[in-house]
A and B are shown apart, each in its own frame.
Chain A
């Protein structure tokens, strides 16, 4: 079958000779992929920053599709169902899943206890092939996959696998109280959704910081928020202090993660030499811009090794840090309602529709932010049959 095939940092190809997935466990399903996105998280793999990313693997954790085969234990979905597949693989039985920590399942990733199982996200996240393919194996098919409502557009559905729940949880973890000032670092799909969702929790002011003018333009309209380009600010932290009565924001959200720009030292240590689990510039800014007793919510992804953060300020300011992989399954019912009622319109973020055959160009476009790219979606040829 046709699938994305990783060949090393910055190199992927559309490979027509990848093996079809098989049922390997009675709880598995095989899904024919209808839409599959490239995520900012995939860029960390693509740039060679995630340890144990093996050549020959297929990426892709944001996909929707039709179930074409199920294992003998699967009861909740059947062949022919079109499903949203959360990016986290979760068993539904371990104590973490039972407490709705679906991003922290203990029965989906033998390689690392600190990371759950994620489709197509290196062996550090379980060694699963992902959905940037015509077909994909979906374990625990009774738990994650959720049938797409009749009325829902596939383009909305595919964004419910990750970026909408992640942006929503970023705001949720901010513990936003009515009237709070919320600063979101990053105007990628995650930051855009976090800004949009901050209002749903009652924010009084929402500010987004990035360096890409076209993304700031987009989020300003899409999420009706204030935007600032950090390239034109001498010191983003000082600027935020000044614009928040000198006290700082109530809540800061890191929606950038390991590949943050804006500080040469962090870039060198975290992105070039890989001596820390990524560049922590946005996290620095978040910690330093939040007010005393404030909350920093982190959804940006960092590597497994240690990272330099201004811990002294965390302690001295009494900051609460909250972070996680989004628990997609927990949030889906609420978010499906929000899409239905027009509170959130996810598909507006899709700027590029790319045939799976051109996956290498898709990665290049998203990685180098060519052609004002915000969110690319890959469409396998079999999606049209």
Chain B
């Protein structure tokens, strides 16, 4: 394949060892003295700051290449070591080599045939295009095979056992091997034997793993900083090199002076220590080298490794300009497409504008305002002006006027953010594409980012201290692309399940419910209050009259924000699934009928406007496009908030109040359940319990008990539920899908029920019992974690403990699940990130090979399909024929889905995609605390 315009391309990268000769050859200077600067502050020649190693001070020129600061890349120097020293990074390889080669002749400890066999294996793997990892397995096998031999097949020398004393001491049967001896041995290994061990002798010789010369990195790699006091502060790497040089010097002097062997050996060991910590200051087995202050030095490995290392912190992730981060808070008066940006942030974030003939006047005006325009209203100013020659000028209050006068076409001005700018808004963890969306800026007072509550679900945001990031796009192309592809309104439908991810939550749903449930009506003032928020200037005609007073029905008001020709029929969340369904005559007002954009019957709740389930949102975004859906979401937010404010809505612990009579009934039910459990247990003890098929007798007992206790909890819930009607705020929230469930309520008012760990009744803790309060072997309900009390009545001490056991499991589960699914997501993303759908509908990778012949096998984009089908036939019929079509378009029918036939009620929303209901009120405590 030819790629035009490319003159050089990398076909391969090969890693090898530096030979001492190469180290000396690439060195700009030899370093011999540990001193850095002389008394006048000039770098000493052949010292660690030798000017041949590059320049860090502006104005000076490099003595090697003659270039200035930023132009000279820096040059390596070298230290000639008095005695050879082991490189810590290679101890494993050195060990392998020593063990698998002969101590006298240096040959690989394998016979000719064995070696040939391994070489053949290698060749075969290379031919098949196996990767490096597989190839390294072969050499590992060869080395293992060789090191298991006790005598050399070539010279018959008996091999001694080589051990490694971490980190860098090698012993042969207890006798210490000096690096010098090791180097001599490695020198003897012939080239052809190295290939079998996985080394390429043309570029790497094993003896090079024992250092005789140490490269000294350029000063640009370890710049010294001048403190305010005028003192110099050197880099940790420089400090370490000073140590190396000092000891190296002393070692050479002692050796040359013929000092006792013991002293030389001690110094040699010290040199080894300094060079080891120079490479890796966290080598296990030796104390890390420390700064005078006691802080461990950051040497070469520490610069690269870990989260703060070069790779993860500087190469995989970088800091970006034109971004902001702050706490988020809600604002229902904003459109879903907007984001509120605090003034302080807007004045820091800038958009580059190219000055042309046409915007010259505006540009000058804006610039003359300076970086902080005065006045009540926010007006964008300018922070920087970039001249045609590329010079960047900072605008200040003083020079603003002068700079403004000098502006001419071709200049760039970096103006403050203003209303309507397109920015990217993001909340971590960014798990799906809706985690980064494009918003339009609204500059606002105060210090938080604000957005419409309907956008909380895709970001998975709440306002308990969450922070979000904002990025300002810097080019026209980026802005255009973001506006078309990333705007919030383009992401109302999720690609995951084809339903809306942006929609009403909490009070938004409650408000819609209060507005439309049954025959709710609003007086003139109330109606005006609601419509004023939605910005509808014309009040419709009233449709309800009571005692001569005019009222507006909630359904009429809601119809005002529906598109004029909308036709829909579905069941709302509050539907109690009566059989047969009375449809329009439903006594709970749960059958939603919309004709010609008028809400005829039914209650608007979660099934209509909720995130994940909202049928109206679904329909609108398909039939009226993102613009239509956005307009509806914005209007419905404001209308719902208006309705809930007019009506007023509150909930408290009184909502779970039940009469004393009911409490007694619940107590009775609990006593009965307890007795029934006892009956089962005694039947089991007598051996009279009838065994269930496929279960042991103990399991049968457990199942029976769980059944009884489950029923008891339900009974308690039902008794409580009788006194919790639709006039109860908590019930309204649970039934219309705003927050909480009837189960939550029955646990608050009725009984909490059985606590479980791993799906079983609690059984562990003490020997044969859960707590010392019970007798060993007690199988009764109280002893095994059944909670008869409600959250409201309060728990007994043992119940409280059991509840904590059950709660703990939930927490552990979430913790384990998030870490595991995070890693799985990472692997999936790495595997799938460069696949794309081609023009012909096939999915291919970068090599052009087919992954899927047709995307999703049907070539359908889930966000453009109707519950998986390309066309919704019923909907088309209804749209064309209107009400007349209803008898043709069967509302309840057997949907034929591919090979199988499925019963499905088309009025029902398909199974909810989000199965796990996360709770903000769990026992874990605040996440920000």
- Verify that A and B bind, or say they do not: no
- B interface residue numbers (CB < 8 A to A): none
Q: Which residue numbers of A lie inside 8 Å of B, CB to CB? A: none
